[in-house]
Structure 1
Amino acid sequence: MLKKFLSFIFILTFLVACSEDETKTKSVEWEKYINSKFGFSVNYPPDWPIGEESDNGDGINLYVGNPDVQILAFASLYLEEISNPYESAENNGFDIQRITLDNGKSAELIIGKLDEKVYYELLFIGNDVIYNVKAEVSKSFFDKNEDILLKVVKSLDVS
């Protein structure tokens, strides 16, 4: 009987702890970067120290202040006959995965190792524009923040 009671208390404690974590995660509102030049947006955690938008207005550094972390959101005109955005990934032996963004559109996620960093880049092509959310981060940063990075890249939205 005591064993069943202790099991019940353990399960109840576990469920309450899980609910508290979910509440904390859901109650934190993420920030949104909106790029007016190319008409895209991306969400990012409110505690990320972001930089200023680039001088030419093509994007922003979503994480500044750590030399082991570079996370960018940017776009540029895309001319298919001039460039192949997957060529570098293929040459470096990176994995290319098709994923579904939060808005239901499909995009490619490129993952690999570049020097001593994890290379993680979302590519979405539409309306003659290529949209990127690109991260080059230390393995330790990636291991701690992989779910957050995926959430950031999947939040890309194009108007």
Structure 2
Amino acid sequence: MSDVLAMRALLALLLVLVLTPALADDWRRYDNARFGYSIEVPPGFAVGREADNGDGREFRDGATKLAAWGGTIFEDSFEAAVAAAMASAEGDGWTLTYRSVTPSWASFSGMQGKRVLYQRMVAGCDGQYAAFRLQYSAADITRLDPVVNRLVRSLKPGC
């Protein structure tokens, strides 16, 4: 009897190992026509309405909100545009706890009560940028860390 249980457990483990990558790849790609950027959207996120000006779209999974957008850099540099975005987040009540800024990409995150914000911006061509912002419950940090990492890797500016 124990051999039968061991075989069933092994079969169940093999099924999980085979099916997990397939389930993990239910991500879909969003391409923005106006700014030419793309980003992968996690499974389970409902597609919101495209912005009236065509710069981006929102996606939701319960209380978790993902916004993706593109824009034109009106400041002197990409880094100055990032500084303005961080100042805007702080003005909206976010306490920024992480900042990393380079000439071609930037990420910052923060807290507002029990909510977490993670924002990524990447410089594009001709003075443009692409960005995403993920807002979620602090209780979901461990579950959403791999989602954030994949979003970061998937955000590609238009060029």
Structure 1 length normalisation: TM-score? 0.71
- Quote the offset at 1:20 in angstroms: 2.8
Q: Secondary structure of the equivalent of 2:48?
A: coil
State the identity as a percent: 20
2:29 to 32, 44, 63: 32
- Quote the offset at 1:150 in angstroms: 1.9
**8 A Cα contact 1:109 1:122, kept in partner:** yes
CA distance in 2 between partners of 1:140 and 1:52 (Å): 27
Q: Secondary structure of the equivalent of 2:68?
A: strand
**8 A Cα contact 1:69 1:141, kept in partner:** no
**8 A Cα contact 2:129 2:157, kept in partner:** no
- Quote the offset at 1:143 in angstroms: 3.0
CA shift digits 1:89-123 (9 cap, x unpaired):
69644312369xxxxxx622212212321110111
1:94 to 89, 97, 107: 97
- Label 1:118 to 1:56 Cα distance change in 2 as closer, same or farther (>3 A): same
| Match in the other structure for 1:52 | 49
| Match in the other structure for 1:79 | 74
| Match in the other structure for 2:118 | 120
Residue ranges of structure 2 left out of the alignment (5+ in a row):
none
CA RMSD of aligned residues (A): 3.3
Q: Whose helix fraction is larger, Structure 1's or Structure 2's?
A: 2
CA distance in 1 between partners of 2:101 and 2:19 (Å): 30
CA distance in 2 between partners of 1:145 and 1:63 (Å): 13
Structure 2 length normalisation: TM-score? 0.71
CA distance in 2 between partners of 1:76 and 1:97 (Å): 20
- Quote the offset at 1:30 in angstroms: 1.9
| Match in the other structure for 1:110 | 108
- Quote the offset at 1:133 in angstroms: 0.7
| Match in the other structure for 1:129 | 128
In the alignment of these two chains, the number of paired residues is 144
CA distance in 2 between partners of 1:40 and 1:25 (Å): 25
- State the AA in 1 paired with 2:65: Q
| Match in the other structure for 2:154 | 155
CA shift digits 1:43-68 (9 cap, x unpaired):
1124211101111100000226x3x3
CA distance in 1 between partners of 2:21 and 2:40 (Å): 19
- Label 1:15 to 1:98 Cα distance change in 2 as closer, same or farther (>3 A): farther
CA distance in 2 between partners of 1:117 and 1:24 (Å): 30
